[in-house]
Structure 1
Amino acid sequence: MPRPSSSDTRYLEQNHGKWRVTIAVPRDLQSKLGTRLKRPLQTDSLAIANQLKWQVIGELKAEIEAARRGPGGATKADVLTREALAMAAQRARAQTHEEIDTLDYAVRERSEAILGRPIAVEQLPGHDAEPVYDPEKEAAAAQFQALAMGEATPIAHHHRQFVEQAGNKSRTRGDDERAIRFLASWCESKRVTPTLEAITRREAVRFMDDLPTLTPEPLSPVTLKKYLNRLSRYWQWLELRGHVQNDVWARLQLPKPKIKPQEERAFTDDEVGRLLKGDAPQKLHDLMRIGALTGARLDAIVDLKVKDCAAGLFTFKPQKKEAKERAVPIHPALYEIVARRIEGKAPEDDVFPEWPAPKKEGSQRERSFKASNQFTDYRRTVGVDHVVPGQRRSLVNFHSFRRWFITKAEQADQPESIIAAVVGHKRKGMTLGRYSAGPLIAQARRCVEAVTLPTEKVDSSKPS
């Protein structure tokens, strides 16, 4: 068998005549670990260094992963997995049979080292004596060899790259990560090897059937279907890059519920009145009124800055499928609120500093997360709720202000196309949807001012 090449210096550098392993640290972790991780091999022989380096590469990559994870670090299994995947990646890049043979030799040597010495000898009649190994070490060695030879790939191995390239919003990224966690948990409970190669169509169907039982609380069929869809998108991405043969999740459908879930609805006038008269903190009263008189989504309101409240207009950031920011005239009933909240502040200051953006780096929560929870608690205290058996979410929530605004504008005989433009919905038809530049501000203002709160008198003096 060929020995490791005497000219292969990948992952290696010389320091004072001896070889050491060196690995680049991802940019986002360089403040913790420095730009490169290095570890001496205590040998001046390149051939020996090539035999020793793979274990060290695995350990250093596990150290990088542990820094990314935070407290808890990496287990011994993580270290071996990293080492094996490093070898598999190198093997995939090999360009000659000699390079492949060299790496295969290194894989077998490392597998034998993991396996260790026999713990016993088994003698069967008519057969030679067979060594018996520790079952855990034997399994670890077999898994290491399968990973390193490219015969097995952990299901989440490419997932981070998939999520980053998809460029989805934080909520969808959260769905992607939960879907993978559910699949990994299911593999562990069903003793299915958690590799891409092991997830066949048959296993995908089994997972689909078991998915409703994997969550702590029952989830709606719509939510469960969302996780299957995210797995399917991941597999499609893998198929395009040659990591899997096909999308095993394609066309999988959970059984439809016998009872069609009721759709969420607008607040009634009575419910809006109770919400606006209730004993809520000022920040919630301001938030509710802006929501009711703009039809804006909660996160867009909470994210407003002082500069977004100029010239009698709110400028809301784009959300959902909106292509650009959206200007909405400020309703006269909101003049006092806006004037009070922007007084003495700089253009970049927050209109709602009570709900700052998440401090945790990489947090997937929207800025409005806490505001939504506080509104929900308050809404329930004034008896505004609509819970249907079998459905997790109430049929009314902060978004019901948006539905209420649209309802009131429609009842005030405002054109559908103008209402759609004000709330950021796609306008219907080719003429309005593709060729129109949108309504004039005066038209949008008439639409906004056609809606009035059921408990408020309007002060028509404009803000300065």
Structure 2
Amino acid sequence: MSLSSDRKYLELHGNQWRVVVNVPKKLHAKLGTKLKKPLGTDSLREANRLKWDALADLKATIAHAENPSLSLKAARSASRQQAIQQAVQFAEQRRTAFDPAQRDEIDEEIDWQAESLAGRPIATDEGGYEIFDPERLRLAKDFSQLARGDRTPIDLYHEKFLAMSHVKARTQADDKRAIKLLKDWCSKAGVPPYLQAMTKKEAVRFCDELPTLAANLSPVTLNKYVSRLSVYWTWLENRHEVDSNIWQGRRLREPQQTTDQKERPFTDDEVEILLKGPAEQKMHDLMRIAALSGARLDAIVCLKVKDCRDDGVFVFKPQKKEPGPRLCPIHPDLIEIVERRKKGKAPEDDIFPEWPGVKKSDSLRERSFKTSNEFTAYRRIVGVEERREGKRRGLVNFHSFRRWFITKAEQAGQLESTIAVVVGHKRQGMTFGVYSGGPLLQQARECVEAVRLPPNLLA
């Protein structure tokens, strides 16, 4: 909408325009129903240029009334965000304006708005030149550059990117941490925090200096954040907001792990100790399902009655990069456990109600968080533990059941591609990875049944 027709926040009083803002109902007794400020002009175009300064003052008054401890200066910071959002709208209009005359009109409106944001001069110097408030002048400059597409804050489109990302809340939290790390680095390195300033050279500098910036984080974690930046930049590239993905191929060097430092499967003796130990029934059932399905902990804990089908198949929810629910034949040694846990329950009831989901809707923790803690405590009680100096995690954990299942399936002569489908791994090679629809259910069942618990354990 042009400055000559926009009446938002404006009303005529006599033949002069003024700004009008509605006051929240809870503040009516304190401020009245509306706040008004005259602009001293009968020109709608001029009123649109002047209104933002007055609007910021009125909204700051309301914010200060809501929270008296908030300074008027802090309350006015909201007007900056509003100006930035308006600049984004101008930039989008400018980008789609192919008519030179239309673009000139938009540029003129951008200039008028920038002048309004800069405000009136606060003084003049000895040469008679006008001096403006530095903070407002900086806002006006940022507004103009953003509106003209010359500068784009690196996080401007990040919320939109997250809204369009089909990833877990924990991954979205990683995205936000990655952007914060990049902005912090820009501040310390003196790099303007704009997409236009981020080149491949700056990406290399960021990766080189990241271990110092986040000294408490491991290279593995830092690489995860660099990877999330790469996903964001790819999204920006596809939308023509950047020319290329500057993060592609960027990785921090990770310490070389020797064989004795890597997390490993349980041994048969350890599986026997765990399954013969003094665990509660819920833990015994959980461990046996893990050992004889190779499923991840959260997928097991989230099972519902309907997911344990009468035709002898588990339906595990998608994990990691799985495109959808995964079928896994139920091992014969698990039938008694499954039937016992299904008895008397409705299809939507939980198989493991002992571990309900987290209560807070905004929690990033998986449902299995407490389950994992309980298993770790039990595992240590029975003495199944192996640690290495300098490593936060032990070399065995609940995931070691999954590793044990895969190892036993391989030792039983099962095809790697079939094992990959059963446990939800991406299959290697063109034939099985792209063109194959997957092994028949009977092949998967043979793979699962080829895995047997240690002979000293009863089924």
Normalised to the residue count of structure 2, the TM-score between the two structures is 0.76
- Aligned counterpart, 2:383: 383
Deviation at 1:245, TM superposition (A): 3.8
Whole-Å separation in 1 of the counterparts to 2:79 and 2:288 = 55
Which stretch shifts more, 335-344 or 354-363? 354-363
For residues 108 and 294 of structure 1, do their structure 2 counterparts lie closer, same or farther at Cα, with a shift above 3 Å needed?
same
Which stretch shifts more, 441-450 or 327-336? 441-450
Whole-Å separation in 2 of the counterparts to 1:105 and 1:217 = 48
Amino acid across the alignment from 2:167: N
Deviation at 1:89, TM superposition (A): 1.8
Q: Secondary structure at the match of 1:294?
A: coil
Whole-Å separation in 2 of the counterparts to 1:242 and 1:219 = 33
Deviation at 1:75, TM superposition (A): 6.4
- Which of 51, 54, 62 matches 2:49? 51
- Which of 220, 225, 228 matches 2:226? 228
For residues 79 and 386 of structure 1, do their structure 2 counterparts lie closer, same or farther at Cα, with a shift above 3 Å needed?
farther
Amino acid across the alignment from 2:296: R
- Aligned counterpart, 2:67: none
Amino acid across the alignment from 2:3: S
The reply to whether residue 199 of structure 1 matches residue 206 of structure 2 is no
- Aligned counterpart, 2:24: none
CA RMSD of aligned residues (A): 4.0
- Aligned counterpart, 2:153: 154
| Post-superposition CA distance 1:306-357 (Å, at most 9, x none) | 1112323322223334444333333343334323322221101111223333
Amino acid across the alignment from 1:227: Y
Whole-Å separation in 1 of the counterparts to 2:81 and 2:363 = 27
Deviation at 1:155, TM superposition (A): 1.6
- Aligned counterpart, 1:439: 440
Whole-Å separation in 1 of the counterparts to 2:167 and 2:57 = 32
Normalised to the residue count of structure 1, the TM-score between the two structures is 0.75
Q: Secondary structure at the match of 1:252?
A: coil
The reply to whether residue 98 of structure 1 matches residue 94 of structure 2 is no
Amino acid across the alignment from 2:154: I
Give runs of aligned pairs for residues 49-448 of structure 1, distance below 5 A. 50-51=48-49, 54=52, 76-94=76-94, 95=97, 96=102, 97-112=104-119, 117-118=122-123, 128=127, 139-140=138-139, 142-215=141-214, 217-220=216-219, 222-257=220-255, 262-311=261-310, 312-361=312-361, 363-426=363-426, 434-435=435-436, 438-441=439-442, 444=445, 447-448=448-449
For residues 136 and 379 of structure 1, do their structure 2 counterparts lie closer, same or farther at Cα, with a shift above 3 Å needed?
farther
Deviation at 1:157, TM superposition (A): 1.0
| Post-superposition CA distance 1:67-110 (Å, at most 9, x none) | xxxxx9x9644541332331342244144212320231121221
Amino acid across the alignment from 1:212: P
Question: Does the 8 A contact of 2:182 with 2:206 survive in 1?
Answer: yes
For residues 54 and 173 of structure 1, do their structure 2 counterparts lie closer, same or farther at Cα, with a shift above 3 Å needed?
same
Ranges in structure 2 where 5+ consecutive residues have no aligned partner: 22-32, 61-69
Deviation at 1:302, TM superposition (A): 1.2
Whole-Å separation in 1 of the counterparts to 2:34 and 2:389 = 60
The reply to whether residue 7 of structure 1 matches residue 8 of structure 2 is no
Q: How many pairs does the alignment contain?
A: 421
Amino acid across the alignment from 1:231: L
Q: Secondary structure at the match of 2:314?
A: strand
Deviation at 1:7, TM superposition (A): 2.2
Percent identity of equivalent pairs: 49
Whole-Å separation in 2 of the counterparts to 1:443 and 1:85 = 54
Question: Does the 8 A contact of 1:296 with 1:402 survive in 2?
Answer: yes
Whole-Å separation in 1 of the counterparts to 2:179 and 2:57 = 24
Whole-Å separation in 2 of the counterparts to 1:20 and 1:283 = 66
